[in-house]
Amino acid sequence: MTPEVGDIRGAPVIIGAGVAGLMTALHLAPHPVYLLSPTWLGTEASSALAQGALAASLGADDSPDLHLADTLAAGDGLCDESVVRRVLNAADRAIENLMDLGVAFDCSWDGTLRLGLEAAHSRRRIVNAGGDSTGRELVRAHHRCEANAFDHNSGRHGSPPAHCGKWAGQRRAGGKKCTGDCLSDPSTGGIGALFRDTTNPPGSFGHGLALAACAGAELADLEFIQFHPTALDVSHRPMPLVSEAVRGEGAVLINERGHRFLSNTLGGELASRDVVARAVWQQLATGHRVYLDARQSLGQKFAKRFPAVARHCRDGGIDPAVEPIPVRPAAHYHMGGVAVDAAGRSTVPGLWACGEVACTGLHGANRLASNSLTEAVTTSLWVAQSVAAAPAGWQWPRLVAKAPLPPDPSSVRHVASNALGVIRDGQALSDTVETLLPIAVRNTAASDPALIALMIAIAALRREESRGSHCRSDFPPRSAQARSSRLTLASAMTVAAELSLRPAERSA
Ligand code: SIN
């Protein structure tokens, strides 16, 4: 890995600049760390776009055990229960911690935190800030803390939690070892930019995953990609989200004939996200158009309750108070990632990951809404403690500038969208592996995106069942036993080379 950030020595490196990375840096203060990001800090992190918020069992009718049961049910057999328990038990403390940092969560008239409802949660437990702008509020609060501690103009840092670096780097496949310590966070973790339809920023094509894979780290459950069922159906990217909380307030999904197609499904519009996304997808695939109808449930109250969604609708010429909102599924969150423990340690000594790029086992096959910011905030403390406990005299990485190739996923997007979407099949997946292999091994701007799409396709091909967000039309049943999947760059390359042999050579 050779990011063009100058010569960095003497401090751990956090790749990315979303909430998980920023909080890890704050926990590590006064020890300096580097935050590396494809863009200026926070400007393109998925965290900053998050409308939904943190899930925590704060209501009088709620408990961490109920939250645990909902998380395990959504995860469809693949959650690591010990990690789920640890994260969810720490959620209320994490929210207090954020309030101490100045995050102003939304309150009810009596001054208590207002708790929203999202899909597959059996209780109201979603804590928001700024109505539907929680991610932006969180990133802002962290920047305020950073600005207080580090004066960029004078270069003096009383007690600097972080330095800002701009990452324009490129790694090369081939198993070059990344020495020292790196941490990753959501802005490098998302993979939505590999798809035509996504709610993720354009830089989210799995750069952090590529980095970790090249360092030899194991990646876990890569095939599990969450498609949000209700992205606003507009032409620009990223697609604005129409938060699940809108359905939590009673909005319903209809097609152009006004038919409420989820009315006979258990949980209806608030069934788990994979179920709703598939139902919307099937409507679109059979020639229908799909709308979220909030006229009855919210009407004129819409703009006050969901100001960001209302603004996006207005920009698209839609008034949700009086007309249904056109929606479609979009790649939104990657449950898979760098295989780590709850302290963010990957299988490569000295390499940590946290946030969306990491796979801790919290989300399993399908993330429960708003559990990811909860994960980012809670695990950042454990990651920081683990980094701080690194032995004295540890060799932190030395990253040397090299001419960067701004990565460009555009040539991969068509292939990934067709094969890795809401419904998959084996033939399309093996064709995709064959198409992507030559792109992934060449040193071009498309190599990293192609490498990650290739690894996802291999993981999806190997999982011959349908579970959570992974749906195979050629293997509809769910296997009796749930198994997490693991892949390294070396094993992926072996499988890809084998699949790419022509049938004649394969049988020879
Ligand atoms: C939403 O508000 O619908 C998204 C929340 C999430 O992705 O967790």
The CATH number linked to 216 is: 3.50.50.60
- What is the CA(439)–ligand 1 centre distance, in A? 33
pLDDT > 70 in the chain, percent: 78
Phi, psi of 330 (to 5 degrees): -145, 145
Determine the structural domain holding residue 312 and report its residue range: 229-328
Pocket test for ligand 1, best of 121, 244, 325, 333 (most atoms within 8 A of CB): 244
Q: Is the link from the previous residue into 30 a cis peptide, with omega within 30 of 0?
A: yes
Using the atom order of ligand 1, give the atom closest to the CA of residue 119: 3
Mean pLDDT is highest, among 58-72, 134-148, 389-403, for: 58-72
Pocket of ligand 1 (CB under 6 A): 51-52, 241, 243-245, 333, 369-370, 372
Using the atom order of ligand 1, give the atom closest to the CA of residue 51: 2
Using the atom order of ligand 1, give the atom closest to the CA of residue 367: 8
pLDDT-based confidence at 19, cuts 50/70/90?
confident
Question: Please, are residues 209 and 187 in contact by the beta-carbon 8 Å criterion?
Answer: no
406 assigned to some structural domain: yes
Task: Give 349 or 324, the one with higher predicted confidence.
Answer: 324
477 assigned to some structural domain: yes
- What is the CA(369)–ligand 1 centre distance, in A? 5
357 assigned to some structural domain: yes
Judgement on whether residues 264 and 366 belong to the same structural domain of the protein: no
Residue 210: what residue type? A
Judgement on whether residues 356 and 271 belong to the same structural domain of the protein: no
Judgement on whether residues 144 and 240 belong to the same structural domain of the protein: no
Judgement on whether residues 29 and 155 belong to the same structural domain of the protein: yes
Interval 176-232: pLDDT, tens: 223 333 444 334 568 999 999 999 988 888 888 888 888 889 999 999 999 999 999
Judgement on whether residues 344 and 438 belong to the same structural domain of the protein: yes
Q: What is the rounded CA–CA span in Å between residue 420 and residue 223?
A: 8
423 assigned to some structural domain: yes
Residue that finishes a domain, picked among 328, 353, 374: 328
Residue 240: CATH number of its domain: 3.90.700.10
Judgement on whether residues 233 and 216 belong to the same structural domain of the protein: no
Counting the structural domains of the chain, the total is 2
Pocket test for ligand 1, best of 117, 228, 371, 372 (most atoms within 8 A of CB): 228
83 assigned to some structural domain: yes
115 assigned to some structural domain: yes
Judgement on whether residues 302 and 356 belong to the same structural domain of the protein: no
**Side-by-side strand order, sheet with 486-487:** 358-359, 337-339, 219-220, 486-487
Using the atom order of ligand 1, give the atom closest to the CA of residue 226: 7
Judgement on whether residues 274 and 422 belong to the same structural domain of the protein: no
Judgement on whether residues 284 and 368 belong to the same structural domain of the protein: no
Residue 2's pLDDT is 33
Judgement on whether residues 214 and 289 belong to the same structural domain of the protein: no
Q: Rounded mean pLDDT of the chain?
A: 83
1 assigned to some structural domain: no
Residue 503's pLDDT is 58
DSSP assignment of 274-308 equals HHHHHHHHHHHHTT--EEEE-TTTTGGGHHHH-HH
Residue 505's pLDDT is 58
pLDDT-based confidence at 420, cuts 50/70/90?
very high
- What is the CA(372)–ligand 1 centre distance, in A? 9
Averaged pLDDT for residues 300-327: 96
Averaged pLDDT for residues 403-423: 88
Residue 287's pLDDT is 98
Residue that finishes a domain, picked among 279, 299, 328: 328
- What is the CA(55)–ligand 1 centre distance, in A? 10
pLDDT-based confidence at 502, cuts 50/70/90?
low
Interval 421-437: pLDDT, tens: 999 999 999 999 999 99
* Closest Cα to atom 5 of ligand 1: 52
Return the active site residues: 273
2 assigned to some structural domain: no
Pocket test for ligand 1, best of 19, 46, 51, 325 (most atoms within 8 A of CB): 51
* Closest Cα to atom 4 of ligand 1: 52
Judgement on whether residues 283 and 217 belong to the same structural domain of the protein: no
* Beta strands at 325-334 and 13-15: parallel, antiparallel or unpaired: unpaired
Does the structure show a pLDDT above 50 at 154? no
- What is the CA(368)–ligand 1 centre distance, in A? 9
Q: What is the rounded CA–CA span in Å between residue 408 and residue 484?
A: 30
Residue that finishes a domain, picked among 276, 299, 328: 328
Judgement on whether residues 38 and 53 belong to the same structural domain of the protein: yes
